[in-house]
Structure 1
């Protein structure tokens, strides 16, 4: 075989190999376009932006072959219907707080963060290493979704009030925008809980439709302008020592993804989870200073309110656990984790933080 014939034969062979290999590559990395419905408005450049961070990571890890378009609350469905749209396949996935769906089953509340429950790092540990994600997904099969932790607000503030809360009597008849399980607990203390989406909070407080409101913390609350219509800012949000958000994915759509894309989605959710919690920690201190400078009055909840709320929470947990097996299974797991975690925190984390807080005041 002469040189020219050899080169020609080799070229034909290479072309044939490429023809055979191309379909396999295409099949493993298909072009896919999804839609994500966020429960949050674009004005919240923390919660909503975290989904943009997630979608960007998915695209970059797949050479733009797996693209997820993020839609704000109200663009496809209202914020509090994001999971419903995912369940029925209107969208492939959503970013939401599971406790928004408390009306379907109280178990949903435990997947975001129960009153007097875990703090943010403890939630991460429970979901990642304590069986939390497995328990969540076993429950969520009923709603045709699979979940991935996707951002924590960390400990929240106790909300904005037009009047001071000096004792339990000041809670009687208070119309309070509060999410999740806290509403049931506060009802036992005389509060009238209201479920209000983010975009409706300010006008409701301004018009007097509600008397008080909690949202997240200084940075987001400042953006919503809540300090302009209520000057008393209470802490802590005992109902949200942490608040885990989730990416929920339609189960059929999840099953259609190549394994590599499933891994990408899990990895990008982990990135989103890290990004959101650290962003709040970086933004809240300066925002709190600005709020106080603008006239905000910081107030701790009275001990009597904290103790009464803790007692009421225990009573409700016992009632619901007695009649809801799904709730009891997850609740028992969270409580066991909380007990062990606080044993550790009492020894190391709490003592270190307490010393440093006192040392800071002397500096």
Structure 2
């Protein structure tokens, strides 16, 4: 895998830069390097359209060179590289890029914090998470630009999962906090470079993934190396963000900052409908994985365990307690609002 990864890194770096290159750039052109958590196939949807749009509009004034998962640095080192200025901007969740903040555990998939993708932007824009993230990242020299939702978190496995007992001993590629939560059900979390997952499934190093919804499983090739898709999920949407080195961000003229924000928002909007439609259509029309379901009464024990997990996280710091309180209030409000916000 090391050899394969080296090849991907070396060969992919040139490929990543090529589509974004602009001929005869002025000497004064601002140049940024951005790395995403996503591999090339997934990045075609979750970030590249926004970067292409930014580069087209900004023209000679600024260009962003996009790199895919692990091309410049491993995903787990993204934060430090951005903080140092080795990378100017990053698209990732807080959890997998190992941010040294009190909000890191809430990035990616915080168990059962959301039911739908719209929950994430509402939590950030209307329930106060934006202000908390801005404060936490400002402390460590990084600009948190904006957060958005991705897909829900489901298991895709070689063997069928029809009960909680079927999860025991399964070696699963997942996010750090999700893995921490799932260990109580016998799951063995495994950390590997994103580009190595397909091979690890084929060699038996992994039994499955709990990294995404079904849209990503098909898009990145994991549906070709797994046989079953569990319809129960541990979170309704992945929470990820765009970040930048604080000095690089402050150096930008206000209009380029605004343009960058607008392109990030376009990326968030694109993902809202791409994932929402894709999750449904691939469950209905997809042919590569068989759907399985853990009965609601049994899955309710997992949902109850999440509440205990929230309280454990809240006890770790004042900031974490504040975020958990917001998540609790938000979900209680949605439950009281009833259909279509919550039911059942």
Report if the CA contact (8 A) 1:148-1:246 is conserved: yes
1:136 aligns with 2:133: yes
Pick the structure with more helix per residue: 1
Which consecutive segments of 4 or more residues in structure 1 shift more than 6 A?
Answer: none
Paired with 2:215 and 2:324, the residues of 1 have a C-alpha distance of: 31
SS in 1 for 2:223: helix
Is there any run of 5+ residues in structure 1 with no aligned partner, and where?
1-29, 355-363
1:326 aligns with 2:319: yes
**Greater shift in the superposed pair: 115-124 or 173-182:** 173-182
Of 134, 142, 145, the match for 1:145: 142
1:124 aligns with 2:121: yes
Paired with 2:103 and 2:342, the residues of 1 have a C-alpha distance of: 30
Paired with 1:101 and 1:242, the residues of 2 have a C-alpha distance of: 18
Of 305, 308, 311, the match for 2:304: 311
Of 267, 271, 277, the match for 1:276: 271
Report if the CA contact (8 A) 1:185-1:309 is conserved: no
Deviations 1:219-267 (A, max 9, x none): 32123333333312102322x2111221111111111112222222212
Is there any run of 5+ residues in structure 2 with no aligned partner, and where?
1-27
1:32 aligns with 2:30: yes
1:287 aligns with 2:251: no
Paired with 1:258 and 1:318, the residues of 2 have a C-alpha distance of: 43
Report if the CA contact (8 A) 2:76-2:96 is conserved: yes
Going from structure 1 to structure 2, the CA distance change for 1:303 and 1:197 (only over 3 Å counts) comes to farther
1:161-180 correspondence to structure 2 within 5 Å: 161-180=157-176
Report if the CA contact (8 A) 2:34-2:90 is conserved: yes
1:203 aligns with 2:199: yes
Report if the CA contact (8 A) 1:40-1:48 is conserved: no
Aligned length: 316
Report if the CA contact (8 A) 2:158-2:225 is conserved: yes
TM-score (norm 1): 0.79
1:74 aligns with 2:74: no
Report if the CA contact (8 A) 1:160-1:231 is conserved: yes
Paired with 2:205 and 2:299, the residues of 1 have a C-alpha distance of: 26
2:86 aligns with: 90
Deviations 1:54-104 (A, max 9, x none): 223323443441211111123211233222211111011011122214585
Deviations 1:12-60 (A, max 9, x none): xxxxxxxxxxxxxxxxxx631111011111122xx45432222233234
Paired with 1:244 and 1:299, the residues of 2 have a C-alpha distance of: 25
Report if the CA contact (8 A) 1:122-1:338 is conserved: no
Report if the CA contact (8 A) 2:96-2:176 is conserved: yes
RMSD: 2.4
